[in-house]
Amino acid sequence: MIDDYELIDSGEGFKLERFGKFILSRPCSQALWRKNLPARRWENADASFDRLDGNRWHGRSNLPKEWVIKTSGIKFILGGTDFGHLGIFPEQRLQWKWINETIKNTPRKINLLNLFAYSGGSTMAAALAGAQACHLDASKGMVEWARRNAAENKLDNIRWIVDDAHKFMRREIRRGRKYDAIVLDPPTFGRGASGEMYKIEKDLSETLSLVKELLSEKPLFVLFSSHTPGLSPIVAENILSQIFPTASLESGEMLLEGSSFQCPSGIYCRVLFK
């Protein structure tokens, strides 16, 4: 399978990655070890981003405004943003593969909801497996980016929503709509479509309670992930086991994987129903 992503090196607070034919250096707060490759390999990156004196790109003119890569069987449109993001979180690649394979191996039609859905990796993984997917994000711009990603993958079995997650879920509950699988990666801090404030330490409990109400009578899974510092796999399991006491849980760190070091980048917890 073609894969256009590669972690080349990491260390000293940075990661060196390949996205298609472009090599980029960007911050990575957990890379506390020494770099493995010589300085010239890092200096030869097409572009770099740092936060040493505000958010700054170096060599951004070496990159096209947009380019397309394929990883985990999914095409993504990438572009450098002012915050150093590119429109993809490659540490989610194993979760996308898991979503896709789990749905493919389920002999019934799956209705999936992706909350805080960003550029749609989980949405497309599910839709490519044949699920009917609903994609929600509070950012109109990110939903449009995800729609363009879906078009690149020739997908049309996706419902697109720009809204505050809690408002949308309450409305779905009133309508009696149910989902067999729900994916969520809530922000540490964020704002809804109308400026609603979200803080994970305050709002996660309500988020998960609403998720539970939205599940169908025969749910397949809930997939929770987070990039919040201090939220470990065990913390996630403790929280989710109280919401779903009879389910099985699988948790771990999300990793960027290279030939020399694995670079941790968030955590996941899968809730599996019998």
pLDDT value at 191 more than 80:
no
Q: Is the pLDDT of residue 230 over 90?
A: no
Amino acid at 93: R
7: number of Cβ within 10 Å: 22
* pLDDT, tens digit, 9 for 90 and up, residues 21-44: 999 999 998 999 999 999 999 999
DSSP E strands, 154-220? 158-162, 181-184, 189-191, 197-199
Share of the chain above pLDDT 70, in %: 97
Residue 194 confidence (pLDDT)? 65
What residue spans define the domains of the chain? 5-78, 90-272
Instruction: Write down the pTM of the prediction.
Output: 0.94
For residue 140, the 8-state DSSP code is: H
The domain defined by 90-272 folds into: Rossmann fold (3.40.50)
pLDDT tens profile 72-99: 999 999 998 888 899 999 999 999 999 9
Whether the pLDDT of residue 247 is over 70: the answer is: yes
Are the CB atoms for 136 and 117 separated by under 8 Å? yes
Asked if the model's pLDDT at residue 260 lies above 80, the reply is no
Q: How far is residue 140 CA from its own chain's centroid?
A: 17
d(CA 186, CA 162): 15
- Work out the average pLDDT over 118-132: 97
Q: CATH classification of 5-78, choosing from 1.10.12.10, 2.60.40.1180, 2.60.120.10, 3.40.50.1000?
A: 2.60.40.1180
- Per the CB < 8 A criterion, the answer to whether 75 and 152 are in contact is yes
pLDDT at 59 over 80: yes
